[in-house]
């Protein structure tokens, strides 16, 4: 890793910046969901999605969490984060909630973060790595980043909605 970047465990002082990164990075995703589902469905099905994601990040960063959370810094500024789930029973590691600041995207930081995550999984004895993402256009950058990191086997999935 270059001298201007480093990856380290999350610190409690990082959490406000991680929320700002998460909010900015996922804004297009939540907008895409609303557009795809339509406002009638989205106003109900996704009404709490951002708050739920914020709570998830807080849980993952809390002491004693079952996730490992790492941040990537460039020139001392936090530019992204990645939560990892490591299952010693199944030997499957998962890249969970993660994001790179939109102002820093396209600069290889995600690639460095995912390479680190995969190495951490190997060190922990994982035999398979997994990551989930959406199939909509808003998730296309994430899919490209995961494919660039070597994720190739994919199981297509759909969530279907109906207003009732």
Specify the pTM. 0.90
- For the chain, which residues make up each domain, given as ranges? 5-148
The CATH homologous superfamily of the domain defined by 5-148 = Gcn5-related N-acetyltransferase (GNAT) (3.40.630.30)
Q: How far, in Å, CA of 143 to CA of 132, rounded? A: 9
In angstroms, how far apart are the furthest CA atoms of the chain?
A: 55
Residue-wise pLDDT tens digits, 60-119: 999 999 999 999 999 999 999 999 999 999 999 999 999 999 998 888 899 999 999 999
CA 20 → CA 54, 56, 118, distances in Å?
10, 14, 25
DSSP annotation of 91? T
Cα(114)–Cα(72) distance, integer angstroms: 10
Task: List pLDDT tens digits, range 3-61.
Answer: 589 999 999 999 999 999 999 999 999 999 999 999 999 999 999 999 999 999 999 99
Q: Assess contact for 104 and 74: CB atoms under 8 A.
A: yes
pLDDT at 160: 85
């Amino acid at each position: 890793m270059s001298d201007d970047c480093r990856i380290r465990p999350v610190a409690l002082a990082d959490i406000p910046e991680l929320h700002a990164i998460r909010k900015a990075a996922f804004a297009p995703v939540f907008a895409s969901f609303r557009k795809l589902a339509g406002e009638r469905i989205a106003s109900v099905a996704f009404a709490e999605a951002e708050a739920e994601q914020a709570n998830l990040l807080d849980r993952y960063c809390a002491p004693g969490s079952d996730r490992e959370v790492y941040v990537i810094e460039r020139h001392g500024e936090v530019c992204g984060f990645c939560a990892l789930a490591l299952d010693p029973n199944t030997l499957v590691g998962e890249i969970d909630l993660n994001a790179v600041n939109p102002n820093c995207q396209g600069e290889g930081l995600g690639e460095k973060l995912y390479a680190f995550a995969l190495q951490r999984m190997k060190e922990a004895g994982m035999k398979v790595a997994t990551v989930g993402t959406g199939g909509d256009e808003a998730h296309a950058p994430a899919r490209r980043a995961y494919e660039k990191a070597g994720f190739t086997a994919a199981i297509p999935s759909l969530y279907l909605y109906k207003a009732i």
